[in-house]
C-alpha cells in the first residue's frame, strides 16, 4: 500500500518523496479532502496529436469539481470569502460571495473558454439533483486558467456531460494530482503544471482543525521557481521553452474551523503569499484568484428564519491558520509539478515535467544540516 503523503493513488511521486522539507503537519492524505466532507472529482480529456484543427484537437483539458459538503450536501451553503491578487482571469459567483459571504453549490475549475459553459452546467446539475434545496436562482462558482498552448481551447471540447461526470464521480480520501481534471493542459514555471493539493492539521487551544488547499497551477517563468529557498528555476534553466507568462492560478481553500466571511476573505488573501514562496510575481496577464470556505456551522443554514447562533473563532487566533494556508498553497503548487510527466500537445508543443533527480539530490545532500 502506498503512502499517500509520498505518492498519488496511481503511484505518481509527490513533492515530499523528493525530500523537500515542508513545514507544518499534513493531514492523512495531505489533500483538501482531509477536511471532513470535502470531495473532489475529475473529468480528464486527452485526445489527438499533431497540428491544431480547431474543433477537432489535439485536446488536453478537463474539469475539476469540489464539493464543500460532499455530493450529498450540495446546496447547503458554506461561509466563504474571495480575493483577486491579479484579475486577468475569471471566477463566476465572486460578486455574490463578496455581497453575502457565502456560496451554496459545488465549485468547478476548467479552461478559460469553458468557464461559462461549466457555470451553466453546474446550475443544470443542481436543478436535476437537488432542486428542492434551491431558492429561485443559483449563482455557481466556476473558475478557469488557460490551456491553449497545449490544447484546442477554441474547440470548446468540455461539455455538460463532462461537468456532470466530475461532480458525480467526486470522492474523499487521497486524490490524483498533476495533469488531471481542469489542470490537464496547464503549465507552471515553464514545467508541466496542473492540479495539486495539500493540507495542514492545527491544534488551537484544544481545538483541532484542518486546512486543505487545491490549486490549478498555470503560472510563472522558469527563472522564478524557488523550492524551499533553492533557486531551482535558475539551476534548471537550460531547456526553458521561453513561454510568455500568460497563465494563472486558482486556489480553493477549505477548513472545518468555524470562520466568518471576513475571516475567510483574510485566508483567501494569504494564498498570494503561498504562491510567492515558489516565486510567483502575479504577472500582468495572470489570473490569480482565490476562494476560502468553512464547512462549520451547517446548522446555521437550516431552513428556519430569524436569529440563530453560530460558532466563531477570535480574529486574534488566526495567525496559525494563515500560516497553514501559506504552507499548503506552496506545497500544493509543487505537488502539481512533481506528480506530473512531459506532455506533447497541439502543433507538437512539448512541455517538460520538473525533473525529480536534481531536486531530490539537492535536498538529500542537505538533509543532515537542517535545524
Give the tens place of pLDDT for each residue, 255-272.
Answer: 999 999 999 999 999 999
Burial class (CB in 10 A: 0-12, 13-18, 19+), 312: middle
Of 196, 182, 187, whose CA–CA distance to 225 is shortest?
A: 187
Bridge partner residues of 355 (DSSP) = none
Checking if the pLDDT of 317 tops 70, the result is yes
Residue 302 — pLDDT band, cuts 50, 70, 90? confident
Which architecture, in CATH terms, is 24-299+311-360?
4-Layer Sandwich (3.60)
Q: What is the pLDDT of residue 251?
A: 98
Q: What is the pLDDT of residue 371?
A: 43
Catalytic residue selected from 179, 288, 294, 330 = 288
152 assigned to active site: no
Residue 365 — pLDDT band, cuts 50, 70, 90? confident
Is 100 in contact with 82 (CB distance < 8 Å)?
A: no
179 assigned to active site: no
Catalytic residue selected from 151, 179, 199, 248 = 248
Q: What is the mean pLDDT of residues 174-194?
A: 98
Domain residue ranges of the chain, discontinuous segments joined by +: 24-299+311-360
d(Cα 31, Cα 106) in Å, to the nearest integer? Answer: 17
Catalytic residue selected from 114, 199, 286, 294 = 286
Half-sphere exposure of 63 (CA within 13 A, CB side): 33
Residue 1 — pLDDT band, cuts 50, 70, 90? low
For residue 2, what are the contacts with CB-CB under 8 A and spacing of at least 6? 9, 11
Q: What is the pLDDT of residue 368?
A: 54
Q: Which of 24-28, 114-118, 205-209 has the lowest mean pLDDT?
A: 205-209
Report pTM.
0.96
Q: What is the mean pLDDT of residues 95-99?
A: 98
Checking if the pLDDT of 12 tops 70, the result is yes
Cell 536534481, residue located: 358
d(Cα 202, Cα 49) in Å, to the nearest integer? Answer: 46
Checking if the pLDDT of 72 tops 80, the result is yes
245 assigned to active site: no
Give the tens place of pLDDT for each residue, 326-344.
Answer: 999 999 999 999 999 999 9
Q: What is the pLDDT of residue 206?
A: 83
d(Cα 42, Cα 214) in Å, to the nearest integer? Answer: 13
d(Cα 102, Cα 226) in Å, to the nearest integer? Answer: 35
Residue 62 — pLDDT band, cuts 50, 70, 90? very high
Amino acid at each position: 500500500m502506498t503512502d499517500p503523503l509520498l505518492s498519488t493513488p496511481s503511484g505518481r511521486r509527490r513533492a515530499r518523496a523528493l525530500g523537500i522539507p515542508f513545514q507544518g503537519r499534513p493531514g492523512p492524505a495531505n489533500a483538501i479532502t482531509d477536511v471532513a466532507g470535502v470531495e473532489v472529482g475529475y473529468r480528464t480529456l486527452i485526445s489527438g496529436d499533431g497540428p491544431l484543427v480547431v474543433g477537432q484537437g489535439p485536446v488536453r483539458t478537463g474539469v475539476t469539481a469540489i464539493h464543500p459538503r460532499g455530493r450529498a450536501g450540495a446546496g447547503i451553503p458554506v461561509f466563504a470569502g474571495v480575493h483577486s491578487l491579479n484579475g486577468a482571469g475569471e471566477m463566476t459567483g465572486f460578486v455574490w460571495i463578496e455581497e453575502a459571504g457565502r456560496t451554496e453549490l459545488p465549485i468547478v475549475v476548467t479552461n478559460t473558454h469553458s468557464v461559462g459553459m461549466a457555470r451553466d452546467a453546474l446550475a443544470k446539475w443542481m436543478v436535476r439533483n437537488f432542486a428542492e434545496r434551491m431558492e429561485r436562482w443559483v449563482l455557481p462558482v466556476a473558475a478557469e486558467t488557460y490551456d491553449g498552448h497545449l490544447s484546442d481551447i477554441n474547440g470548446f471540447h468540455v461539455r455538460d456531460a463532462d461537468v456532470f461526470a466530475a461532480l458525480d464521480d467526486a470522492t474523499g480520501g487521497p486524490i490524483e494530482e498533476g495533469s488531471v481534471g481542469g489542470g490537464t493542459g496547464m503549465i507552471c514555471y515553464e514545467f508541466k503544471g496542473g492540479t495539486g493539493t495539500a493540507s495542514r492539521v492545527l491544534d488551537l487551544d484544544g481545538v483541532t482543525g484542518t486546512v486543505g488547499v487545491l490549486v490549478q497551477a498555470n503560472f510563472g517563468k522558469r527563472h522564478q521557481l524557488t523550492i524551499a529557498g533553492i533557486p531551482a528555476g535558475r539551476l534548471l534553466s537550460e531547456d526553458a521553452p521561453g513561454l510568455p507568462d500568460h497563465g494563472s492560478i486558482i486556489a480553493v481553500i477549505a477548513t472545518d474551523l468555524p470562520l466568518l466571511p471576513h475571516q475567510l476573505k483574510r485566508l483567501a488573501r494569504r494564498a498570494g503569499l503561498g504562491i510567492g514562496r515558489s516565486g510567483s510575481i502575479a504577472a500582468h496577464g495572470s489570473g490569480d484568484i482565490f476562494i476560502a470556505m468553512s464547512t462549520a456551522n451547517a446548522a446555521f443554514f437550516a431552513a428556519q428564519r430569524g436569529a440563530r447562533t453560530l460558532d466563531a473563532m477570535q480574529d486574534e487566533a488566526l495567525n496559525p491558520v494563515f500560516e497553514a494556508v501559506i504552507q499548503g498553497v506552496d506545497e500544493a503548487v509543487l505537488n502539481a509539478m512533481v506528480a506530473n510527466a512531459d506532455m506533447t500537445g497541439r502543433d507538437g508543443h512539448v512541455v517538460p515535467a520538473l525533473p525529480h533527480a536534481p531536486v531530490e539530490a539537492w535536498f538529500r545532500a542537505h538533509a543532515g544540516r537542517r535545524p
